Amino acid sequence: MAKRINKPEQLPEWFKLERYDVLLELPVAEFIDQLIERISLFEMPFHGINDDGQLKVAFSPLLDTGLHAVNNAPQHARQMEGKESIRPITYSRLAYMDKRARGAGAYGALADRGRTLTVIDDLDAVINFDTFDHAIPMDEGLAVAVNLAEFTDEKILTDIAQLLPFWRESLKHPEPKLEKDKAGIANLTKIIIYRAIPMLDLMFWEQMREVWITNDLLAATLHPDFTVSGAQVGATRKPFIKELMEANFLDRMMLALDKEPHLYGWPVSDFLKR
């Protein structure tokens, strides 16, 4: 059973609500980036937290898996079509890009340690392109390269429109149906007013420490003016945060924002006044 946290002194020392005041000064686009980073943390593997209470996340690069990952790729990934303006990135192209990146020192300290980041160390070696030169399958879709130098925007967009149905059918990713009536610009206002970012930080700390912060303490910590009760946190704030982390929620919200793109550049404080 998770330990119950019901006193302010039991919260992590690094958490100070006033530190989040700077969020109101960020442009809306950067505020959303901060939100997305928090949500992505819940999907990452981790080892716990350091003694000073800071998060210690463990990342798992996928490039050390070996050629068996290529040979076991789905057959449809080997047959993905493309056009001259836009085409799927193949494993051999990725290896070439990685080779150039390592040569340019793009990986910094990792390269200095001599760590092998891919299964290809010498691109002059003989490569079996029958099993290596095909599209890279990904859980969420397809990695592609766009030829911006030789083709107009109109041509690229036309090609994408023609290729998308084939790619979706081949990868079994039908176009998602966005529930436009359930998410929009109003939800960004909720995210700000509900103080979702500091709440997510505390929720992640809960998960890392395997503890439970009571609703009353969350209310008092996030809303020290006592405008929100513990009952309201349980009835409205937590369900909203859960919905926020569901698939397509942010997509629907940003679809609405894309119709008013000037809002992305507004400071969050100005957005609240609109």
User: Which residue from 188, 189, 219, 187 is spatially nearest to 202, judged by alpha carbons?
Assistant: 219
Q: What is the pLDDT of residue 192?
A: 95
234 has pLDDT over 90:
yes
68 has pLDDT over 90:
no
Helix, strand, coil share of the chain (percent; to 5): 50, 10, 40
Q: How far is CA 108 from CA 64, 101, 118, 184, 241, in A?
A: 18, 10, 15, 40, 37
Q: CA quadruple 168, 173, 179, 183: dihedral positive or negative? A: negative
- Between CA 187 and CA 193 the distance in angstroms is 10
Confidence of residue 228 (pLDDT cuts 50, 70, 90): very high
- Between CA 26 and CA 28 the distance in angstroms is 6
Helix (H) or strand (E) holding 8: none
Look at the pTM and tell me if it is higher than 0.85: no
Mean of pLDDT values over 128-140: 53
71 has pLDDT over 70:
no
42 has pLDDT over 50:
yes
* Close Cβ partners of 86 (under 8 Å, ≥ 6 residues apart): 144, 145, 146, 147, 156, 159, 160, 163
Cβ neighbours, 10 Å, residue 172:
8
* Close Cβ partners of 176 (under 8 Å, ≥ 6 residues apart): 247, 248, 251
Q: What is the pLDDT of residue 62?
A: 27
**254 half-sphere exposure, CB direction, 13 A CA radius:** 15
pLDDT digits (tens, 9 = 90+) for 48-63: 444 444 444 333 322 2
Q: What is the pLDDT of residue 91?
A: 65
